[in-house]
Amino acid sequence: MDFNPSDEWKAYWRHKMFLQFRGYRLGIEYGKKYDEPILPDLPKQGRPPEVFVSGVKQTALPWVPIVNPIDMDMVATGRFLGPRNLKAFNAVKRLKGYFERKHPGMMYNRCLGWGSNGLAAAFDLKYPPGEKVVVKMVFSEKRNHRNTEVASLRALLKAEHIVQLLYGDNVDETTAIGAGEEPTPNFFITEMLENGDLGQFITLVRQHGERVPNAVLWRFCLCFIRMCIALAHPPSLLKDFKDRPAPISETVPEKYKHEPIPNVHFDFDPKNVFVGNISQKGEHDLTPLLKVIGLAGIST
């Protein structure tokens, strides 16, 4: 018998998923007493009504606050750090020590940033020389957040506008401790885009008093559209795309255009959009390629 959920059932689960991902973003656990009983309005399903809105003059501050004002690689001791920064400081030390002992072919380069739930660090590979990767470490010892993001990245392998997963094998923590080994940090490895994130790009543009040309903004918009297409039609889950070489430019497949996967990215933030390089031809001959990550905040 087919299951036809009621509107009340759908609303309940939409609110529950909102609270769960809001808690993930803030670094808190869902269901605690600080969850607010009054819920904000959520986006409604279906096609929006056609409305006309008059033009609005857009203004912006000449600068954007820096998310991580402390250079963690210049800090010698965590003695004077607050709780949030101390957590990141200890995680950096642990990550550096782990890779020095277990994976000497990867050399720590610098801390890229951190939040309530984890941090990202750049590592240099000895082979091939000159190549860099990003190690993303989750603070919590629970592996559900990490496993969720790794599973999402695996489903989106080959997608041109998604940061690509390089290593994300699950590690049995109990087995490692039982064998007398140190606990393995909760991490996975992705490709690195050298030009930083979109938040840093916006900051630099505003600091120099520049304006981004409309032609560049439209190209960026196309990158965002292709990110959304990748979420709705992950290439690795489509039979027609499985044998295609990477990277695959995201397009809506004709055969599945009425069967999108209803994924929602709850952490679509400039710091989760990374800036790649400019190519010699194609869509990115004028503007750099943009890629999104932060896929632990995805709900289906």
Check which CATH number belongs to the domain holding 129 and give it.
3.30.200.20
Is 220 domain-assigned? yes
Quote the pLDDT of residue 298: 60
Q: What are the angstrom distances between the C-alpha of 291 and each of 92, 216, 242, 271? A: 25, 15, 20, 11
Is 55 domain-assigned? no
Is 128 domain-assigned? yes
pLDDT tens digit string along 22-68?
776 666 666 655 444 445 566 667 776 666 554 444 444 544 555 56
Is 33 domain-assigned? no
> Are 125 and 201 in the same domain?
no
Among 193, 228, 252, the domain-final residue is: 193
Q: What are phi and psi of 180, to 5 degrees?
A: 85, 15
CA distance 139 to 146: 10
Among 162, 193, 224, the domain-final residue is: 193
CA distance 175 to 254: 47
> Are 141 and 97 in the same domain?
yes
Is 8 domain-assigned? no
pLDDT tens digit string along 146-155?
888 888 889 8
> Are 216 and 144 in the same domain?
no
CA distance 8 to 247: 41
Per-residue pLDDT in tens (0 to 9) along the chain, 300 residues? 567 788 888 888 888 888 777 776 666 666 655 444 445 566 667 776 666 554 444 444 544 555 567 888 888 888 888 887 888 899 999 999 999 999 999 999 999 888 878 899 999 999 888 899 999 998 887 777 788 888 888 989 999 999 999 998 755 554 454 445 667 888 999 999 989 899 889 888 888 888 999 999 999 999 999 999 999 999 888 887 878 888 999 999 888 888 888 888 888 888 889 999 988 778 898 899 999 987 765 655
pLDDT tens digit string along 109-118?
999 888 878 8
CA distance 27 to 114: 12
Is 229 domain-assigned? yes
Number of domains in the chain: 2
Among 126, 161, 193, the domain-final residue is: 193
Task: Share the mean pLDDT of the chain.
Answer: 81
CA distance 184 to 135: 13
- The one-letter amino acid at 149: E
> Are 93 and 189 in the same domain?
yes
> Are 95 and 189 in the same domain?
yes
> Are 155 and 226 in the same domain?
no
> Are 148 and 206 in the same domain?
no
- Provide, for the chain, the percentages of residues in helix, strand and coil under a 3-state DSSP scheme, each rounded to the nearest 5: 35, 15, 50
Please say whether the beta carbons of 166 and 150 come within 8 A. no
Is 57 domain-assigned? no
Is 134 domain-assigned? yes
Quote the pLDDT of residue 55: 47
> Are 280 and 230 in the same domain?
yes
> Are 218 and 258 in the same domain?
yes
> Are 201 and 288 in the same domain?
yes
Per the structure, the complete domain to which residue 155 belongs is given by: 83-171+183-193
- Collapsing DSSP to helix, strand or coil, 190 comes out as strand
Residue appearing with tokens 């497949």 = 253
> Are 230 and 137 in the same domain?
no
> Are 91 and 155 in the same domain?
yes
216 alpha-carbon distance from chain centroid: 23
CA distance 161 to 53: 31
Please say whether the beta carbons of 194 and 138 come within 8 A. no
The neighbouring-strand residues paired with 108 are: 123
Quote the pLDDT of residue 57: 44
Quote the pLDDT of residue 52: 54
Q: Which of 145, 135, 189, 136 is nearest to 164 (CA)?
A: 189
Quote the tokens at residue 132. Answer: 């860099």
User: Is 16 known to sit in a ligand binding site?
Assistant: no
Quote the pLDDT of residue 208: 85
CA distance 233 to 259: 9
